[in-house]
């Protein structure tokens, strides 16, 4: 997550830097560092921010299950944790999903793929 993405999601959630620090369990100084680009946003913080942003009621209405969008075959769905836990709108949040025929394990690599996917589109960063 870039500094601009971090700032975008914080502002879209209507949180001050102090409120965001409290929400994700970090210091205000860390939030400043993320937004200035002095420190990389840790994966656990990125996941939490994206999860909380996705849980906003207006986002749920715009999202569809991944297996519908990607027209997954029954065989593929049976092996995928997104299907197992009926988390098709949150597939991007779950490691081990089977996207493009491959098990996605690494968060950073998975998010590169997810950010291009229609499932994640309603949550996508709308910046430059």
Judge contact between 43 and 107, C-beta under 8 A.
Answer: yes
What is the Cα Rg of the chain in Å?
Answer: 15
What's the pLDDT tens digit per position in 41-67? Answer: 999 999 999 999 988 887 766 678 899
Q: What residue spans of the chain are helical by DSSP H?
A: 3-12, 17-24, 28-36, 43-54, 57-62, 66-69, 74-79, 81-84, 107-114
Predicted model pTM: 0.82
Domain with CATH 1.10.260.40 in the chain: 1-55
Q: What fold, for 1-55?
A: 434 Repressor (Amino-terminal Domain) (1.10.260)
- Reference 92, options 71, 66, 72, 69; nearest CA is 66
**Residue 102: per-residue pLDDT:** 79
Whole-angstrom distance, CA of residue 5 vs CA of residue 56:
17
């Amino acid at each position: 997550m870039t500094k601009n993405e971090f700032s975008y999601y914080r502002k879209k959630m209507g949180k001050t830097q102090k409120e965001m620090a409290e929400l994700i369990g970090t210091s205000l100084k860390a939030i400043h560092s993320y937004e200035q680009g002095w420190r990389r946003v840790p994966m656990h913080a990125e996941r939490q921010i994206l999860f909380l942003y996705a849980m906003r009621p207006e986002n749920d209405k715009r999202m569809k299950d991944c297996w519908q969008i990607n027209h997954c075959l029954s065989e593929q769905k049976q092996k995928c944790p997104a299907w197992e836990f009926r988390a098709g709108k949150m597939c991007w949040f779950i490691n081990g999903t089977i996207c493009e025929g491959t098990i996605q394990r690494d968060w950073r690599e998975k998010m590169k793929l997810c950010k291009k996917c229609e499932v994640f589109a309603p949550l996508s960063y709308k910046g430059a």
